Amino acid sequence: MKNLHITHPKKVVKGIIKLNGSKSISNRVLIIRSLCDKNFRIDNLSSSNDVLVMLKALRFENNNIDIHHAGTSMRFLTALTSTKNNKFTLSGSERMHQRPIGVLVDALKTLGADIDYLQNKGFPPLKINGRKLEGGLLSIKGNVSSQFISALLLIAPTLTSGLVLTIDGELVSRPYVQMTLSIMEEFGIDYVWEGETIIVPPKNYEHQDYFVESDWSGASYLLQMASLSKSARLMLNELSPDSLQGDSKAVELFKNLGVSCDFAGFTLIVDKYGETTNFFEADFIECPDLAQTFVTTCAAHKINGNFKGLQTLAIKETDRTKALATELAKVNCIFFGKNGNWHLEAEEFGCSEIPKFKTYNDHRMAMAFAPLALKLEQGVIIEDADVVKKSYPNFWKDMEKMGFVISEL
């Protein structure tokens, strides 16, 4: 449990940063490689804990798979192992056993899967007797985790009859579903998405080497640092201007918070021009992982705001809306709401002492609160700072490259 004290004496953020490969893309490509007839090389694969857990699991050296805190791995592996001719148990951390998975299990059972709950119904750990699945017609609620839908789509071409998936109601995190389909298409899979129905016919994945673009979720914290600085000039490598990642929306949203971004090939050049909005409002239904970044950035700028589309945050690594409210109170900000609609009151942002921010086993809490050191002369303390390894192992080293002073307590 490492606690870090973070300050930035000059408040000027500069640097050339090689970001980690996208965790979301990496895990999708790893599942596809597992379903492919031949192996292939994956370059710029994420070095995050979530991906390392997936890599270890996909070796199938042990049929008792512990995925720790890795939610994506739990969802994707539940679907994958259901199609493998073997017996598996899937378990994780205490928090993972509190995160619902019943919607995905019910969907897989409809397709013929044999899955049992080992403790509480609707939650991991799971016992899975893998088998060849028939596939066919399936309906799933659109307001569930998009990872449930992506898990089903990734195995869809391997099902005897393929998959005709109807999405019932509003689809949350739509870009992540489109990301899954676009990556599948790169590996030779056909699909049709018309209205609420996605059709994936049976077909073998085609092997090819793959380059994983860098992680836009991670990039968002660096844009946050630019926004909160006195001046900034960053160069972020291997980001695509035509990214599959929904979190690339950060570029557009940060225009309201004094940050300009331009591409030179696959390098994002980030500058601060200083002008910020007086009131921030955005809908995060398609990019929920950006919510903490923008809530804390607005707080540090003393900008009030409305934040919509936060309904999935309660079932993440922690209840993120509740955690935000608790930690922002330490710097005299009020964050409140319900049913996905939340409001920030931030005029009184500040703290006479060094605020100690808890991270709740959530990498995004650590990374979203650390940049507040740019607005607090005494800096901030981030508790259990190693949680960043889940998605961005070099986060603290990259902060030091940009002039932050970090000391272990």
Overall pTM > 0.85: yes
Which residues are part of the catalytic machinery? 289
Contact 257, 230 (CB under 8 A): no
- DSSP labels for 246-258? GGGGHHHHHTTEE
Which residues are within 8 A (CB) of 85 and not within 5 positions of it... i.e. 6 or more apart? 130, 131, 132
Instruction: Return the pLDDT at 95.
Output: 87
Domain 4-20+213-408 and domain 23-211 have a common topology: yes
Strand partners, 272: 259
Instruction: Return the pLDDT at 144.
Output: 84
Whole-number Å distance between alpha carbons of 207 and 40: 6
Instruction: Tell me the C-alpha to C-alpha distance, in Å, between residue 177 and each of 146, 242, 388.
Output: 6, 16, 25
DSSP letter (8 states) at residue 96? G
Assign a CATH topology to domain 23-211: UDP-n-acetylglucosamine1-carboxyvinyl-transferase; Chain (3.65.10)
Q: What is the largest CA-CA distance in the chain?
A: 64
| Per-residue pLDDT in tens (0 to 9) along the chain, 409 residues | 699 999 999 999 999 999 999 999 999 999 999 999 999 999 999 999 999 999 999 999 889 999 998 889 999 999 999 999 999 999 999 989 999 999 999 999 999 999 999 999 999 999 999 999 999 999 999 888 889 999 999 999 999 999 999 999 888 888 899 999 999 999 999 999 999 999 999 999 999 999 999 999 999 999 999 999 999 999 999 999 999 899 999 999 999 999 999 999 999 999 999 889 999 999 999 899 999 999 999 999 999 999 999 988 876 777 899 999 999 999 999 999 998 999 999 999 999 999 999 999 999 999 999 999 999 999 999 999 999 999 999 999 999 999 999 999 9
Q: Where are the domains of the chain?
A: 4-20+213-408, 23-211
Whole-number Å distance between alpha carbons of 392 and 402: 16
Termini Cα distance of the chain: 10
Instruction: Return the pLDDT at 143.
Output: 85
Q: Does domain 4-20+213-408 have CATH number 3.65.10.10?
A: yes
**Residue (of 344, 390, 350, 342) closest to 367 by Cα position:** 390
**Residue (of 206, 244, 237) closest to 219 by Cα position:** 237
Print the SS3 string covering 261-318.
EEEECCEEEEEEEEEECCEEEEECCCCHHHHHHHHHHHHHCCCEEEEECCCCHHHCCC
Strand partners, 380: 6
Strand order from edge to edge, sheet including 334-338? 279-283, 304-308, 341-345, 334-338
Whole-number Å distance between alpha carbons of 321 and 234: 30
